[in-house]
């Protein structure tokens, strides 16, 4: 884990609330990440999100995202990242929720090319993780990404995407800030008790992006029909992340 820096813990002024008290427990790095966002009616998503979480909208509009990326440096605290274990492709289907004054993410599904990650996340966090056959390759500035879930109905995502080089930090109050600058996710544990898992990272180094998405049935497998409009696209080359243990909300 020689390429992971925890100096981010010295930079917290960009956050909407302080980092959690207590010891963090895990590191991750997210690389070659594409945010593909579609607007969607809040009434469609509301029945699909647990009532414990308020659906978060921007100017009355809800959003759904397909997010492919490469995970690396996945390791518990005091444990080094291990070759063949700590790096794998992942793809998330997510929307946005909040509890009180803390906006976060809600996952409809998470696919990963790692049996260990899928089993661990399902066991520890009751997250809807699925095992998938996934490949990620780079050609020049392009990222070539392909995934197919191993379980029925075998949803797929195939795309070639790239960042356009205009890296910047999203300004507070903008749509791209609303969609990306989130420092926790929400879920229900195995006893159906809501919890929050908090993370910390530096502000997203966002770029505009272009993407040729040739197959995308991931949201449909979660029961969500994407609108027939071009997605809003952003790219991030790399983001280091630290996570804290989950905290129940009751």
pLDDT along the chain (250 residues), means of 10: 80 95 94 98 96 97 98 85 81 97 97 93 96 96 97 97 97 98 98 98 98 98 96 97 95
The beta strands (E) that lie in the chain are given as 26-40, 54-55, 62-76, 88-99, 102-112, 129-139, 142-149, 156-163, 184-188, 194-200, 206-216, 232-243, 247-248
Residues 160, 211 contacting (CB under 8 angstroms): yes
Question: The pTM is what?
Answer: 0.95
- CB-CB contact of 33 with 236 (8 Å): yes
pLDDT value at position 64?
98
Q: Which CATH class is domain 24-245?
A: mainly beta
Q: Tell me which residue of 27, 49, 32 sits closest to 104, measured CA to CA.
A: 49
Q: What angle do CA 23, 29, 33 make, to 5 degrees?
A: 140
Residue 250: per-residue pLDDT: 81
- pLDDT for 1 equals 44
3-state secondary structure of 25: coil
Break the chain into its structural domains and give their ranges. Answer: 24-245
């Amino acid at each position: 884990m020689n390429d992971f820096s925890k100096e981010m813990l010295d930079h917290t002024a960009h956050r909407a609330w302080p980092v959690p008290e207590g010891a963090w427990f895990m590191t991750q790095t997210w690389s070659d990440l594409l945010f593909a966002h579609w607007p969607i009616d809040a009434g469609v998503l509301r029945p699909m999100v647990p009532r414990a979480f308020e659906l978060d909208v921007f100017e009355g509009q809800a959003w759904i995202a397909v997010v492919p990326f490469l995970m690396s440096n996945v390791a518990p605290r005091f444990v080094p990242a291990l070759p063949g274990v700590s790096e794998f492709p992942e793809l998330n289907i997510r929307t946005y929720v909040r509890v009180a004054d803390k906006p976060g993410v809600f996952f409809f599904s998470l696919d990963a090319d790692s049996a260990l990650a899928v089993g661990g996340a399902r066991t520890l966090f009751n997250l809807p993780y699925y095992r998938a056959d996934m490949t990620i390759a780079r050609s020049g500035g392009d990222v070539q990404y392909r995934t197919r879930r191993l379980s029925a109905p075998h949803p797929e995502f195939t795309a070639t995407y790239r960042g356009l080089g205009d890296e910047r930090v999203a300004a507070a109050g903008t749509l791209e800030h609303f969609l990306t600058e989130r420092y926790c996710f929400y879920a229900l544990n195995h006893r159906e008790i809501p919890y929050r898992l908090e993370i910390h990272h530096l502000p997203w180094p966002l770029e505009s992006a272009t993407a040729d998405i040739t197959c995308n049935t991931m949201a449909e497998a979660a029961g969500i029909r994407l609108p027939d409009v071009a997605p809003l696209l952003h790219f991030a080359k790399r983001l280091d992340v630290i996570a804290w243990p989950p905290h129940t909300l009751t």
